[in-house]
Copies of this chain bind each other. A is one copy, B any other.
Amino acid sequence: MSLSFTVTHELAGSAARTGLLSTPHGDVETPIFMPVGTKGTVKAMTPEEVEALGAQIILANTFHLLLRPGDDLVAELGGLHKFMNWRRPILTDSGGFQVWSLTRLNKIVEDGVRFRSPLDGSEVYLTPERSIEIQQNLGADIMMCFDECPPHDAGHDYLRRSAEMTARWAARCKAAHTRDDQALFGIVQGGVFDDLREWSAKATVEVGFPGYAIGGLSVGESKADMERTLRVMNEHLPRDKPRYLMGVGTPEDFITGVENGVDMFDCVHPTRTARNGRMYTTEGALNIRNAVHARDAAPVSESCPCYTCCNYSRAYLRHLFMSDEILGPRLATGHNLFFFIDLMRRIRESVRDGSFEALKNEVYAVYPKGGKAE
């Protein structure tokens, strides 16, 4: 068995828990935030920096790596860990989400999906089997089943048929999976319909996986819909297996996820916003390009112990961004990653010592629930 999961603590009166996920490249404490290294690099950072910020596992994207440099090339170079010089665990997604979000003219049939590469227009064909083949070439510790990701406003009928096909694809993915040093997670779909979520969870659990992901959220639905769906998922997913909420999220989403039993999160949010100058603090997010920071000798956050806050003023960071200097996105990315990773560390601690409600109130006071999921 390439992966084991142990629940180490359960918060009384809540679905929140802590756990330990063991992989061939080391252990991961849950709940965990996984920084995204889309193309085999967490943008602007070295692997050593990402690790020093406290990251225990990162995510890479099958879709992007398939198109460039190609999974065969990565395999030839010794796999993704070696290729990108990251020695800790990696999770790869299946390409499913990107096929729907980044390509046009995709044609979905029972066998798979045909689309044009956004890089050069060439035709690409992805099936459950091919997705697993690619992910085995990449060699991540955790792979994901190939799923269909319908738009959040798709109707009940479409979502039902889609969830059924995703369940059949899950069985095909499991059958195609041969490398025993990699674990394969199933993905539950069903939009924000409780009955479909329940059906999809049962069908996926029936195929049987060492972990389950909640797909199809954070795609434009309301936060209330997301939260209700997470409650349904918590009821119908096995409690002894890790649960991974895909593509989520923000500080407030972490809280909502954890109190509904989610163990794993990934999102480009902290790194992407950092490159646009949006920096997170315990007093709220700020845009460092704003003129108000031009002569400010203070760090982004007085209480933050990260490298950026210990060494640079808001004025200097603003200057870097206004001058399009690479060091700007670097320093902002380091800060935001630290903030997100450290928040998750504090969440784990609060689940263990019973202070979760207090932390939840602290986070919601600054980053309120409500509005659209990003």
A: residues with CB less than 8 A from B are: 39-41, 43-46, 68-69, 73, 76-78, 83-85, 294-295, 297, 311-313, 315-316, 318-320, 322-323, 325-327, 329-330
CB nearest neighbor in B for A316: B83
A68: chain B residues within 8 A (beta carbon):
319, 322-323
Q: Does A76 lie within 8 Å of B295, measured CB to CB?
A: yes
State in angstroms the CA–CA spacing of A68 and B319 once bound together. Answer: 7
**Partner of A44 from B39, B41, B326 at Cβ < 8 Å:** B326
9 A-B pairs (CB sep. < 8 Å): A39-B319, A68-B319, A69-B318, A69-B319, A77-B315, A83-B316, A83-B319, A85-B312, A326-B329
What secondary structure prevails in chain A residues at the interface with B?
A: loop
Q: Does B319 lie within 8 Å of A40, measured CB to CB?
A: yes
Q: Does B295 lie within 8 Å of A41, measured CB to CB?
A: no
Q: Does A297 lie within 8 Å of B78, measured CB to CB?
A: yes
A83: chain B residues within 8 A (beta carbon):
313, 315-316, 319
A85: chain B residues within 8 A (beta carbon):
311-312, 316
A295: chain B residues within 8 A (beta carbon):
73, 76-77
* 5 tightest Cβ-Cβ pairs between the two chains A and B: A44-B326, A69-B319, A41-B327, A85-B311, A39-B323
Q: Chain B's nearest CB lies how many Å from the CB of A307? A: 8
Q: Chain B's nearest CB lies how many Å from the CB of A16? A: 35
**Partner of A69 from B46, B84, B294, B326 at Cβ < 8 Å:** B294
State in angstroms the CA–CA spacing of A166 and B78 once bound together. Answer: 60
State in angstroms the CA–CA spacing of A40 and B319 once bound together. Answer: 9
Q: Does A45 lie within 8 Å of B78, measured CB to CB?
A: no
A311: chain B residues within 8 A (beta carbon):
85
Q: Does A69 lie within 8 Å of B330, measured CB to CB?
A: no
Known contacts A68-B323, A323-B39, A325-B39; A77 and B316 CB within 8 A of each other: yes
Q: Does A46 lie within 8 Å of B330, measured CB to CB?
A: yes
Q: Does B315 lie within 8 Å of A73, measured CB to CB?
A: yes
A76: chain B residues within 8 A (beta carbon):
295, 297
A323: chain B residues within 8 A (beta carbon):
39, 68
State in angstroms the CA–CA spacing of A83 and B326 once bound together. Answer: 17
State in angstroms the CA–CA spacing of A69 and B319 once bound together. Answer: 6
Q: Chain B's nearest CB lies how many Å from the CB of A327? A: 5
State in angstroms the CA–CA spacing of A46 and B318 once bound together. Answer: 16
A318: chain B residues within 8 A (beta carbon):
69
State in angstroms the CA–CA spacing of A84 and B319 once bound together. Answer: 10
Q: Chain B's nearest CB lies how many Å from the CB of A154? A: 32
